[in-house]
Chain A
Amino acid sequence: GAVVSQHPSRVICKSGTSVKIECRSLDFQATTMFWYRQFPKQSLMLMATSNEGSKATYEQGVEKDKFLINHASLTLSTLTVTSAHPEDSSFYICSARVGTGGSGYTFGSGTRLTVV
């Protein structure tokens, strides 16, 4: 089946630095990808919709200047957390559409970001 590869799986960075998370569709082209954030014991919260060749669409309350999304090709979307702070520590997950309906989504394995 369609696979989305997400890297790194975990990263630790210092406050004030930036971290880039990559999400690749391995055997299909993803026009649209989605980025979620998940805090411990909480549900996934959609951050933004990444569109190939155009600007991302951010959900209300998500700082677009802090969470930079680039979707330069049909197989790669990146999320850069800029000037990271401890409160940005979370589990970040990307997703892509691979079909129709609620079953038509595949998710990356997630990235555990810890900001120290």
Chain B
Amino acid sequence: LAKTTQPISMDSYEGQEVNITCSHNNIATNDYITWYQQFPSQGPRFIIQGYKTKVTNEVASLFIPADRKSSTLSLPRVSLSDTAVYYCLVGVDTGTASKLTFGTGTRLQVTL
């Protein structure tokens, strides 16, 4: 899996938009970009996945520039419940034994 680099932590106030950028300079042609969210003392939860340009779902948006060497997870109008660690993963699906390798993640703290 391509190595990823994210900020260790971010702080935000409730109601703001939060953008978390992940660098993945060595991304391969077939690699997808996936983001997971982990609340304290829980397993990670899938948020969003993309290959290029922009992907949006009910939770977040994912922006991927043309060179795909970075990606930005955008959380609109965060609330206290969005306080969590966000992981950016890059890799290709090679079958049933494909394993997810997590990087350091970004610890987002949302306050009033």
Q: Shortest CB–CB separation between residue A27 and chain B, in angstroms? A: 17
In the bound complex, residues from chain A placing their C-beta under 8 Å from that of B34 are 101-103
> Does B46 reach chain A (CB closer than 8 Å)?
yes
Contact indicator B100/A102 (Cβ below 8 Å): yes
Q: Shortest CB–CB separation between residue A96 and chain B, in angstroms? A: 10
Stretch at the interface among A12-20, A79-87, A106-114: A106-114
Q: How large is the interface on A (under 10, 10 to 19, 20 to 34, 35 or more residues)?
A: 20 to 34
Select one of A6, A100, A105 contacting B46, CB under 8 A: A105
Beyond A97-B96, A97-B98, A102-B100, whether A109 also contacts B49 by CB under 8 A is no
In the bound complex, residues from chain A placing their C-beta under 8 Å from that of B102 are 36, 43-46
Contact indicator B96/A32 (Cβ below 8 Å): yes
In the bound complex, residues from chain B placing their C-beta under 8 Å from that of A100 are 93
Q: Shortest CB–CB separation between residue B74 and chain A, in angstroms? A: 18
Contact indicator A43/B104 (Cβ below 8 Å): yes
Contact indicator B91/A95 (Cβ below 8 Å): no
Interface SS of chain B: loop
Beyond A43-B104, A46-B101, A102-B32, whether A107 also contacts B96 by CB under 8 A is no
> Does B103 reach chain A (CB closer than 8 Å)?
yes
Contact indicator A110/B97 (Cβ below 8 Å): no
Q: Shortest CB–CB separation between residue B52 and chain A, in angstroms? A: 14
> Does A104 reach chain B (CB closer than 8 Å)?
yes
Contact indicator A108/B49 (Cβ below 8 Å): no
Stretch at the interface among B10-18, B20-28, B36-44, B76-84: B36-44
> Does A34 reach chain B (CB closer than 8 Å)?
yes
8 Å CB contacts to B: which residues of A17-69?
Answer: 31-32, 34, 36, 43-46, 49, 51, 57
Beyond A44-B44, A103-B34, A110-B42, whether A32 also contacts B104 by CB under 8 A is no
Q: How far is it, in angstroms, between the C-alpha of A28 and the C-alpha of B46 when the chains are bound?
A: 18
Contact indicator A49/B97 (Cβ below 8 Å): yes
Q: How far is it, in angstroms, between the C-alpha of A6 and the C-alpha of B101 when the chains are bound?
A: 20
A-B contacts besides A46-B99, A46-B101, A105-B46, 8 pairs, CB < 8 Å: A4-B43, A43-B104, A91-B41, A97-B96, A103-B34, A107-B43, A109-B42, A112-B41
